Structure 1
Amino acid sequence: MDDFFAFAWERIIPALDAGLWTSILLIVPASLFGVAIGVSVGALRVYGPRPVVKTLDAYVSLFRGTPLVVQLYFWYFALPYVRIGDFALVLSPMWAAIVGFALCSGAYQSEYIRGGLLSIKRGQLRAAQALGMTPFQSVTSVVLPQAFRRALPGCGNEIIYLIKYSSLASIITVSDLTGMGRSLAKSSFRNTEVFIVVGLYYLALVTIASFLLKIAEKKLEIPGFESKRE
């Protein structure tokens, strides 16, 4: 046991601290972009014109129906071969991971937002428009804030999932927590110790994120509107 703690302190923690920063730089923008995509796509799928709705339904079906690993391989390995004339888009491993996670997460989050929007009675839209609001103002100022509050637990759960499946970024050479842990395990042949500590790092990230999301839910509660907890 003493040998485990010594190895963890001298080798594992310094290596994983570098990977932790990379994971944070990956998770935060991917989460923010995912929420933005989810809100936009969810709203357009409910209130957008029919061609837009059909297009976005296809986007959601595509990203929910294909493995995330395949999506990451496409953005990093296959996208450079998709050429328009002489132009080819080549993403760095980090940006390929951010784009892949954001688009996949946004597809799932749009379902939560869409469900939240559909739970709001249509009468509120008509009442807002009767007060002189435009349809866009009615949705963004009256309906969407209520829907987002109802969808927040689901969206928060998707962010938790994103933290955990961010470990897949290592398969496209991102040196995140999992990537650094894998490299150290290969060089030291101490897989058990390394991946126990890697798991603890992810557990800490998820715990912190869960705590922050609960604070956000509490801040967005409306007194007398939310269900009371005994």
Structure 2
Amino acid sequence: MKKSQIDLSLYLVTEESIGIENLTKIIAESISGGVSAVQLREKNNSSLSFYKKAAALKQVLNELSTPLIINDRVDIALAVGADGIHIGQDDLPLSVIKQMVPEEMIIGVSVSNLGEALQAEQDGADYIGVGSIFPTKTKQDATPMAIRDLEEICRSVSIPAVAIGGINADNISSLSDKGLSGAAVVSAIMNAKNPKLAAASLLDNIKDFT
């Protein structure tokens, strides 16, 4: 999938504690509800476990024509032929990663302030993940961002900006008209009783973003 074709509107980030079989089931259901991209995020599992999940997920997502983005690990992304890589502020520099991956691989960067956002765009990021927007159990050390700061970032960059952090059906509507290209969610879909309905509900609000 060409990076220009990747739709970041409803961006699902996986929950590490969920095993492969359950994970692929939840993701398939969520895609039927409107999830447009999936990021595999594994912070504590072994490299082998990460690789096995990534390979299984890549196979499922290929069948569903949905891009797979790998969090942090360039080696895993290359090993499974992922569509993208997402890095944080403490990972390898973007300039180094661009030398390591194919030109068609989309690269996203996590940012938490305007300076980081402008730097990511200058360094050649394809999109930015902005947050944390709301308090989140996924990253308990994250400080929620003021909505006005989110708006300033969206106004100041020309690449797509995706909000992340504690986004759910109850608060997503407050992100409309801020200039975002999409929202990234974890628990709101991964822990939902019905991932398809949860995704569809979130997507209804995302349609009001622009």
Same fold, judged at TM 0.5 (above): no
TM-score with structure 1 length normalisation? Answer: 0.26
Higher helix share: 1
Q: Which has the bigger relative contact order, CA under 8 A and spacing at least 6?
A: 1
Flag the structure with higher strand content. Answer: 2
Pair member with larger Rg: 1
